[in-house]
Amino acid sequence: MNLLFAEDDELLAQLFQLQAEILGYQVLWVANGDLAVQQALSYQFDLLLMDIQMPVMDGISAMQLLRQLGYDRPIIAMSAEEVPATGFDLVLKKPLQWPELQQQLAKFKAIPSIELELPTELKEAYLAHAKQLVQQLATLAEQQNWIDFMAIVHQLKGSAASFDLAPLGQLADQLQKEWKTIPAGQRTERATYFLEQCKACKLK
């Protein structure tokens, strides 16, 4: 079962993570409400635990934004103060007492994941398309046309994983995150490395 733990107190988060992982939960920690919303929208978490007072975006605003976007999975609030419960599935009083927390967590169940339907023809058509894109990338890298290069990387990032090519999508995501920090003189080198990694993904 996957938990998202949004809490700006790092030590508290580490403690929770340790204890929860012993019980077999997978935990991702984020330090503010903004990141909590972004992560929750991946729909990979069965349960969200949300601190209320957090920087950037507080826990109540984060919950409200998620609910507005149709997020219907359980969200637990954690707070030392009184919290209006509307929108939360449960409000836990801080400081958290582990035995009680453990009991409460046990009430929530893992949510079965819906598989994406992917007809073979569509998968194959996309694969051919992806191969073409990688070839185009090689040409654009030679020309040092980085604007078009990154536009294609962005496209791969957004689509590859849906077509059973998650590793390719991850490579693109990673490159996109790093790109702004790469000095102009090192772009060709980084792009070449990316293209080698793409080929290693075996676009059969």
Partner 1 sequence: MQTKVKVREQKILLVDDLEYNRQLLRNNLTALFSKEKLRYRAFNYFQAHNASTALLTFSQQLPELVFLDIELPDGSGLELLKRFKELKPECFVVMVSGVSTLENVKTSIASGAASFIVKPFTGDKILAVLKQFDRYYNKLPKVIEEPLIQKP
**Residue 72, interface with partner 1 (CB under 8 A)?**
yes
The least CB distance from residue 35 to partner 1, in Å, is: 9
| Cβ atoms of residues 90 and 104 within 8 Å | yes
The residue count for binding partner 1 (CB under 8 A) is: 36
**Residue 157, interface with partner 1 (CB under 8 A)?**
yes
| Cβ atoms of residues 10 and 3 within 8 Å | no
Of residues 26, 53, 71, 182, which one binds partner 1 by CB under 8 A?
A: 71
**Residue 108, interface with partner 1 (CB under 8 A)?**
no
**Residue 184, interface with partner 1 (CB under 8 A)?**
no
**Residue 86, interface with partner 1 (CB under 8 A)?**
no
Nearest-angstrom CA–CA distance, 169 and 158: 7
Nearest-angstrom CA–CA distance, 173 and 176: 5
Give the up-direction half-sphere exposure of residue 42: CA atoms within 13 A in the CB hemisphere. 15
What DSSP state is assigned to residue 197?
A: H
Q: Which positions lie near partner 1, rule CB under 8 A? A: 34, 37-38, 41-44, 57, 65, 68-72, 111, 113-119, 122, 125-126, 129, 154-155, 157-163, 169
